[in-house]
Homo-oligomer: A and B are copies of this chain.
Amino acid sequence: MQQIEQIVASLRDEGFRITPQRMAIVDYLIKTEDHPSADLIHKVVRKRYPMVSLSTVYKTLDLLREKKLVNEIEVEGEARFDAHTDEHINLVCMKCGKIDDVDEESLKEIQVKASKKSKYLILKSNFELHGYCGNCKSKMK
């Protein structure tokens, strides 16, 4: 689990300025279990820090993604973000839209195999399973 201090330190080390906007966004991402969209991040962060604009949210997310401090996955036409950056499976509920993480050891192995077979240089991975979460599943019968 990443800590705010680690992320702030790695940004500072590379010469990026530590602004209240960046702090607020990182703080939220670290603490939430959700996989929020840019828009949701904006809405939530605004409650406490009303001066954060949506374009700053996008820029900050770009930066964090580039530095591999957050993960991005695209679901139904929008990007969703997550501070859980080690390899895992994203379970996406097609009903309520929530995303859960599940760890799975064999992903690394699969990645190595596929890389050899295909001659690709792999830089990132994304494993998704889509369906209905336990909650939505039981509501449906």
Which residues of A does B touch, CB under 8 Å? 74-75, 77, 89, 91, 93-94, 100, 102, 104, 106-107, 110-111, 113-115, 117-134, 137
Q: Please determine whether A118 and B100 come into contact, CB atoms closer than 8 angstroms.
A: yes
Rounded to whole angstroms, the CA-CA distance of A115 and B89 in the bound complex is 11
Q: With A122-B130, A123-B132, A129-B120 in contact, is A104–B113 under 8 Å at CB?
A: yes
Q: Please determine whether A115 and B129 come into contact, CB atoms closer than 8 angstroms.
A: yes
Q: Please determine whether B113 and A134 come into contact, CB atoms closer than 8 angstroms.
A: no
Q: How many copies does the complex hold?
A: 2
Rounded to whole angstroms, the CA-CA distance of A100 and B117 in the bound complex is 11
Rounded to whole angstroms, the CA-CA distance of A10 and B127 in the bound complex is 30
Q: For residue A126, which residue of chain B has the nearest CB? A: B128
Q: How far is the CB of A120 from chain B (nearest CB, A)?
A: 5
Q: Please determine whether A114 and B91 come into contact, CB atoms closer than 8 angstroms.
A: yes
Q: Please determine whether A131 and B137 come into contact, CB atoms closer than 8 angstroms.
A: no
